[in-house]
Amino acid sequence: MQGKKSLKYQVEPGGSLHGKLRVPGDKSISHRSIMLGSLADGVTEVTGFLEGEDSLATLNAFRAMGVEIEGPHAGRVSIHGVGMHGLHEPDAPLDLGNSGTSMRLLSGLLAGQDLAITLTGDSSLSGRPMKRVIEPLTRMGAIIGATEAGTAPLVISPNSHLKGIDYPLPMASAQVKSAVLLAGLYAQGETVVTEPAPTRDHTERMLQGFGYPVKRDGSRASLVGGGALKACRIDVPADISSATFFLVGATIAPDSEMVLEHVGINPTRDGVISILRLMGADIEIENEQTVGGEPVADIRVRSSRLHGIDIPEDLVPLAIDEFPALFIAAACAEGVTRLTGAEELRVKESDRIQVMADGLTVLGIEAEPTMDGLKIRGGRLTGGCVESHGDHRIAMSFAMAALRASGAVEILDCANVNTSFPGFVHVANQTGLHIRQSEVS
């Protein structure tokens, strides 16, 4: 995971987007398929698996703990589960690269194993806050060491005596919720998590798919430890976060129309569609169905004129990963768009509030950051050179901005796009973007 070459994008201005496209598989579901499949009894077959660096970090971590995993081959993975207590202590620290999901969820899943395991990552992951996970896990009896700042590496000590807790989440976070519930699989008694606002529920859905009972009552999710997981088949839908770049691109670029196929539209993840529609986007949902417990559909999007809005705070947790692209939509909208209640954006792969504000300013857009959001006045995008700070979603968002820019947009530090969207440059060019990738010495 270390020592990646530095890559930059050069995107020519203008153009329109057309065609049908199935973007790579959902990253959140891909992570969880490996985790739960590894602990299940039997062989779990996965199709549509995201072959990005983050998901592969999770896959390689379980291989290092003794799980036989075949693939991925064209999105197909076979996981030979070892059961709830069949993992082995790895020979070296588990390097999770850039993946915060891997680190936070594994912290919970490994907290009750009788194994000594260290979790490490790249410089970006090593700067992200982990106290939010360590605190509830410690209350359950876990023994987890971290740096003085509460960051990785995380040192997890052997422990087989966790106790269930009733934990009200201090902030809406699917990763913290999932970490506590996964630790609850190994805890004595019931583990209950109550969230202040809805967050993605892939963990609860997938646990039930593996035959593990999970009770859900409004904002509460609970389970009782000591059960088992049974292998199953998982069809991973296309990732709505990856689809978002093309939803925004086809909305802002004149004379565009695209169909994004087999996209996961889980109601805890579809905030981006609601927000774009509030701004005036022309988006239709077609061919709705349920696959493996997850709702999926084709999404048709056409060019439209956008207007600025005050983004409803209840939609923020449902679109938290999509805001970099939504900020590009706001830059192309008439009037002012205001986001509040999104302080979580400051502790993602980068400080997404500040980094997007800086990049938009370079491109001639008035963007005023606040502690928990951003105020953007729509205007005319110019060309320029922006810094992505190694954040995959920042890089892809600014690539779409070029569709409405008056000059070329250069984006630095783009190697991490492969964490979530391998082949992005090729796919984007096929749909109508004019983008070149080059190495930086």
Transcribe 120-139 into DSSP letters. E--TTGGGS--HHHHHHHHH
Chain segment 200-220, per-residue pLDDT in tens: 999 999 999 999 999 999 999
Output the pLDDT for position 1: 40
Tokens of 1: 């995971």
Output the pLDDT for position 4: 56
Chain segment 30-61, per-residue pLDDT in tens: 999 999 999 999 999 999 999 999 999 999 99
The DSSP code sequence of 205-232 is HHHHHTT---EEETTEEEEESS---B--
Are 281 and 245 in contact by the 8 Å Cβ rule? The answer is no
Please report, rounded to a whole number, the percentage of residues in the chain having pLDDT higher than 90: 94
Residue 2 banded pLDDT, cuts 50, 70, 90: very low
Which neighbouring-strand residues pair with 366? 377
The residue type found at 46 is V
Chain segment 376-418, per-residue pLDDT in tens: 999 999 999 999 999 999 999 999 999 999 999 999 999 999 8
Query: Of the ranges 2-16, 74-88, 204-218, 276-290, which one carries the lowest mean pLDDT score?
Result: 2-16
Are 12 and 429 in contact by the 8 Å Cβ rule? The answer is no
The residue type found at 77 is V
Output the pLDDT for position 5: 75
The rounded distance, in Å, linking the Cα atoms of 238 and 222 is: 28
CA angle in degrees (0–180, nearest 5) for 30-33-39:
150
Is 321 annotated as catalytic? yes
Q: Which listed residue (122, 270, 321, 391) is catalytic? A: 321
Chain segment 414-438, per-residue pLDDT in tens: 999 988 999 999 999 999 999 999 9
For residue 22, report the phi and psi dihedrals to the nearest 5 degrees: -110, 110
The rounded distance, in Å, linking the Cα atoms of 305 and 378 is: 12
Output the pLDDT for position 125: 93
Which neighbouring-strand residues pair with 336? 377
Are 362 and 331 in contact by the 8 Å Cβ rule? The answer is no
Chain segment 335-385, per-residue pLDDT in tens: 999 999 999 999 888 999 999 999 999 999 999 999 999 999 999 999 999
22 burial (CB, 10 Å; 0-12 / 13-18 / 19+) is middle
Q: Which domains does the chain have, with CATH numbers?
A: 6-25+237-440 (3.65.10.10), 27-235 (3.65.10.10)
118 burial (CB, 10 Å; 0-12 / 13-18 / 19+) is middle
Chain segment 119-177, per-residue pLDDT in tens: 999 999 999 999 999 999 999 999 999 999 999 999 999 999 999 999 999 998 999 99
Output the pLDDT for position 291: 85
Output the pLDDT for position 347: 84
CA angle in degrees (0–180, nearest 5) for 405-408-413:
110
